[in-house]
């Protein structure tokens, strides 16, 4: 039972932050965006989860490409 809570904590702490970043961009609560992804996953048989992973990859690449570097030696 303890491992379930540890897994939940790990995912909340180090998740992709897709829902929170998307909610911030749209001016909504992250809770509503998460519920949207859950319902989309149920109704479309996993397409919501696939969309979530695509958005996570896209946000990670955007952060990587547009990261502010302090000097030339950070390349």
pLDDT, tens digit, for every residue of 8-38? 777 766 766 888 888 888 898 888 888 888 8
Query: Tokens 């897994």 identify what position?
Result: 7
- Tokens of residue 11, six digits: 């995912």
Query: Averaged over 45-69, what is the pLDDT?
Result: 82
Phi, psi of 22 (to 5 degrees): -65, -40
Is the pTM for the entire model greater than 0.95? Answer: no
């Amino acid at each position: 039972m303890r491992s379930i809570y540890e897994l939940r904590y790990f995912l909340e702490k180090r998740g992709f932050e897709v829902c929170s970043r998307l909610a911030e961009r749209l001016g909504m609560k992250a809770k509503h965006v998460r519920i949207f992804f859950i319902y989309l996953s149920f109704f479309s048989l996993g397409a919501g989860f696939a969309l979530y992973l695509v958005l996570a990859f896209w946000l990670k690449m955007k952060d990587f490409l547009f990261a502010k570097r302090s000097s030339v030696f950070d390349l």
